[in-house]
Chain A
Amino acid sequence: MSENNVPVLSADAMHERDNPYVLMGKRIFQHRSAQLGMFLLGVLIFCAIFAQQIAPFDPLIQLDNVKRRSTPCIHLFGCPADQPEHIMGIDGNSRDLFSRIIYGSRLSLQIGIATVSFAILLGGLLGAVAGFVGGWLDDVIMRTLDVLMAFPSLLLAIAIVSVLGPGLINALLAIAIVDIPIFARVVRASVLSVKELDYVMASKAQGASDLRVLVTRIMPNALTPLIVQGTLGIASAILSAAALSFLGLGAEFPTPEWGLMLGEERNSVFNAPFLVFLPGMAIMLTVLSFNLIGDGLRDVLDPRLVHGG
């Protein structure tokens, strides 16, 4: 680019050019599908923050003088002005669907972030210990987690919910537990890949404690795969939580949770399809945003993929 015309760079500029985080940030903003993902996520976060301002009605309140399951009424598109405006219609409990969907974005983000943080903390700890200490402890931890992975993940989550009892918090806990092995494996692999390298040895030789070596020298290597896996993990956590709520094992009436909203109206799909279509669309766009960003991050962060597809 401009390197030929400007032979000397100031120290600051050099620093900026070589700083991997700056480079990464630039690349992710240039990544086509990540751009779409970030746009969708931006809209979602906006809705979540300003839910109170955007939503025209209280999501929990059952409105008077409206017909249950009445179709969307938008004044701009020819809905008579004397009828109250409900741009996504009314659900089976006389509540404004649009307000519920807007408030649902809050819950969805919380669900995704809470479950994944829990799974990363616990899984990361187990993986770090397994990889760092090694020996029999490694075998015990990893074989136990292998057993967890021997069950299809959603079914395991269902089984765990059956132990804990239905409810949103229990459903989230179940999803987090099911995700633990994934993050444990990611962290363990990163720990193993650098454990014997010279700079780790050097740090030990300087007298650093095991904990210090682990936290300051080894764990930063696990950060990249954790970010990628975490983003994709949020997507699948939101999807699983919606599925559990749909089955009646997660969020309960009257929570504005998208999966539950779908579940409540599943039998009216033939006479009020919008009540099923719209919450599902919200779930899909949210999950899509995290998936797109996760894929973009993987492309940007994984050096092996620079020349690949």
Chain B
Amino acid sequence: MLQFLVRRLLLVLPVLVGILFVTFAITRMVPGDPCFVMLGEKATVESCKDFNVRFGLDKSIPEQFVRYVTNLAQGDFGNSLKDHRPITTVISERLPMTIELTILAMLFSSTIGIIMGVIAALNRNSFIDTLTMLGANMGVSMPIFWLGLLLAYFFALVLKGTPFALPPTGRLSAAMSMVPLAKAWGITDPGGVRGFFLALLSNSAILNGLLTGNYALTLDALKHLILPSLAVGTVSLSVIARMTRSALLEVLGQDYIRTARAKGLKYGTVIRKHALRNALIPIVTIIGIQTGGLLSGAVLTETIFSLPGVGSRMVDAILGRDYPVVQGFSVVIALIFVFSNLIVDASYAYLDPRVRVK
């Protein structure tokens, strides 16, 4: 198992180099001089020269790349061109919400998706099966932003005044506020990598509430994330439901299922212990593959529900040509994506011994 993981980790390296190269290239190929974009009317030849020297934009492209990679390795993502704040700080503020949203969407889509898939497979070719699969097909065909808007309309307007009403925008209710963890615990900000992770924890409204005992905060944050995670999760839910159905159908046709039934095991036990466990490998794969889709979905949903996450900031940065922010955020998103794929591979190795040996 360990050998497998090490080998798999080594395979990640070239991809990482590629990611660095692509993110670097993307921001250098942008048409338009960043100086003119940032300084606007104040831009003169003189002030642009200063600007370029300050941000290292006057060096040759290879030099800039080396500088970029060394800085990244030291945890320095540069500063935003717009508000001059360190990008690591911006990431530590924005990322927790996007991760919360992605994880909630993933939980929603995998639990409901697997249940729907199992029900469809066990009632194969029945009315329930057809209905579930048509629903799943519609789910993959829906624009996420459309679903988000419809959910907002339904839960915030149609159900207004009922106990099921949910807030359509924002991350927290106006009355709620978060206390930074460092302050709540009475410690000084350690800075550096530890400070970054502390800030990540602190800026996750759900965890912050749990850690400081402010459960009302956690609850409020969760309430605001329900609609966005439904919107983000629906596509994955449909994909997972379809995959579960076909994987389970394939396993149910195997001889060992008949053997298990023949030796007198209960139907439910056979489904749970023999069929579902073996069907789980493709399901886990597909859940892992969905991570990318969920992250993309988060970008689209954040703009609809006015959530202050990575996605909405990234769209702003693109429109404002804030190179370092686009770059830093792309690196972080790609890293999350690559490592979630790594976790998927590790989990097959756990579920299926054949993968480890190969």
Are A292 and B157 interface neighbours, CB within 8 A?
no
0/1 interface trace, chain A 109-148, chain B, CB 8 Å (1 if under): 0000000000000000000000000000000000110111
Least CB separation from B297: chain A residue: A154
Asked, given contacts A150-B338, A270-B153, A309-B124, whether A262 binds B143 with beta carbons under 8 Å apart, the answer is: yes
**What's the dominant secondary structure at chain B's contact region?**
helix
0/1 interface trace, chain B 325-338, chain A, CB 8 Å (1 if under): 01000100110011
0/1 interface trace, chain A 255-269, chain B, CB 8 Å (1 if under): 000010011001001
Contacts of B291 in A (CB 8 A): 152
Least CB separation from A158: chain B residue: B318
Are B146 and A308 interface neighbours, CB within 8 A?
no
Contacts of A309 in B (CB 8 A): 121, 124, 245-246, 249-250
User: How big is chain B's contact interface, by range?
Assistant: 35 or more
Residue B292 interfacial (CB < 8 Å): yes
Residue B66 interfacial (CB < 8 Å): no
Are A147 and B300 interface neighbours, CB within 8 A?
no
Are A288 and B149 interface neighbours, CB within 8 A?
no
Q: Report how far A2 CA is from B295 CA in the complex, Å.
A: 56
Are B326 and A159 interface neighbours, CB within 8 A?
yes
Are A291 and B145 interface neighbours, CB within 8 A?
no
Least CB separation from A139: chain B residue: B14
Q: Report how far A162 CA is from B303 CA in the complex, Å.
A: 17
Question: What is the CB-to-nearest-CB distance from A296 to chain B, in angstroms, rounded to a whole number?
Answer: 11
0/1 interface trace, chain B 128-156, chain A, CB 8 Å (1 if under): 00000110011011111111011011001
Q: Report how far A270 CA is from B337 CA in the complex, Å.
A: 35
Are B137 and A295 interface neighbours, CB within 8 A?
yes
Q: Report how far A144 CA is from B22 CA in the complex, Å.
A: 10
Question: What is the CB-to-nearest-CB distance from A197 to chain B, in angstroms, rounded to a whole number?
Answer: 25
Contacts of A163 in B (CB 8 A): 26, 29-31
Least CB separation from B333: chain A residue: A155
Are B300 and A247 interface neighbours, CB within 8 A?
yes
11 other A-B residue contacts (CB within 8 Å) besides A159-B26, A291-B140 = A33-B133, A148-B22, A151-B22, A155-B296, A155-B299, A239-B143, A262-B149, A270-B157, A280-B143, A288-B137, A292-B137
Q: Which residues in A have some Cβ–Cβ distance to B below 8 Å?
A: 33, 143-144, 146-148, 150-155, 158-163, 165-166, 235, 239, 242-243, 246-249, 259, 262-263, 266, 269-270, 273, 276-277, 279-280, 283-285, 287-288, 291-292, 295, 308-309
In the A-B complex, the 4 residue pairs with the smallest Cβ-Cβ separation, listed nearest first, are A147-B18, A280-B146, A152-B292, A154-B296
